[in-house]
Amino acid sequence: MYEWEEESQLHEEEQQPSDQSPPTGSQDQVDEVMPAQGPDSGDEFDTDLETDDSTSHSLSRAEVYLQACRRTGAIPISSFIRHLGETDLNLNHYGVGPLGAKVLAIVLQTDNYATNLELEDNAIGAEGTRYLMEMLQSNITIQSLGDYVVKELDLSHNKFCNAGGEHLGHMLASNVGIEVLNLSWNHLRMRGAVVLSTGLKANSTLKQLYLSWNGFGQYEAESLAQALKQNRTLALLDLSSNRMDDEATAILCNGLANNDALKILKLSNNPLTNIGALTLIKTIKNNMKSAVEEINISTVFVCEAFVELLKEARERRPALDVQYSVMSSVSRNLSALSIFQKFLKERNESLMDFFQALDKEGITKVSTSAFRAAVKEAKVPLDQRQLDWLTRKFDQNCTTNITYWWILW
């Protein structure tokens, strides 16, 4: 729900008895800051975040906020005034808009309390983004006043497009100390995504980046891959619910192949298939310096080859957690190997013994037809599909012969 407060409502709150008065100043102070006439005709607030230095230091934060609202024409939000001075500024769903973002930026330029800022679902757009980025680039001032910086920034659901992405990219490149940035549910594609990724490439503080529901595809994956090759701090990348197909995932893997920092990758609800999943797990397995601990491709149905490759990857990294989907037929096929192993163990027989009994000529190979016949004759508890899969596993090159000398248990 949006919380838009008319100026008259704000004044009504401030006319309450003294024991319920707002935390900043008297009614006279508010009236002085917000006179009855219309907005100033001056344009000092049109392009910059300028304030009147001769008076701003003598005003309370609420007075600075109300003055900025009056000059920009933004509707004041009384709840924001009540939260001024708190370390966590949660303004989610307040309908801040571009002008509100400008007012917020003006106030936070000289604020030495805020450490966390949340602005989800506020439609601040590219214009509002510019104001916030300008404010964040002056965080050195905030740091010198109170040794605080804004480390978490939630800008999801704000309709950012190319211009917004460019402003955010420039902000990231300037290393302002942000560690968590949520840009989900925006429109950061094409040029906006490229500049954003360029900023990520130069950034040395960001640890978590949320980019779900932005329409990222092959074009955007290319710039992200380049960023991942150089970035050494990003630990979580969320690309859920985008347009990341098999080709886009392969492009992204070009960056993952040379990355040693990323720990969590989220790719669920994308159009990638088992092919993209295989490319991804191969890249992680082959990158000896990879730090990946968790991959979410929970909406991808994988094949037996993926599960076996993942098993190999976990031999080196037992803690690797991959969330995926698998059809019952795949699970049944994968169980064929363990069923065959159990059968041989119960007969006190090795796989080598089983094949040597079939190899009458001693040439270390038997035909697939002979293997099938022997399995059925021995009454190994496998159905036809499981037997087909097990045969293909042993005859991976489809030569109709199984060279068994290399098989070790």
pTM of the model: 0.63
* Residue 316 vs residue 295, higher pLDDT: 295
pLDDT above 70: percentage of residues in the chain: 80
pLDDT at 58: 57
- 242 closest CA partner among 281, 203, 268: 268
Q: Which of 203-212, 349-358, 399-408 has the lowest average pLDDT? A: 399-408
Query: For residue range 302-325, what is the model confidence (pLDDT) as tens digits?
Result: 998 899 899 999 998 999 999 999
Most confident of 16-20, 173-177, 220-224, 353-357: 220-224
Residue-level pLDDT at 57: 55
Task: Map out the domains of the chain with their CATH numbers.
Answer: 87-330 (3.80.10.10), 331-403 (1.10.238)
Query: How large is the average pLDDT for residues 391-403?
Result: 88
pLDDT in tens, 204-263: 999 999 999 999 999 999 999 999 999 999 999 999 999 999 999 999 999 999 999 999
Say if residue 294's pLDDT is above 70. yes
Least confident of 38-42, 289-293, 327-331, 349-353: 38-42
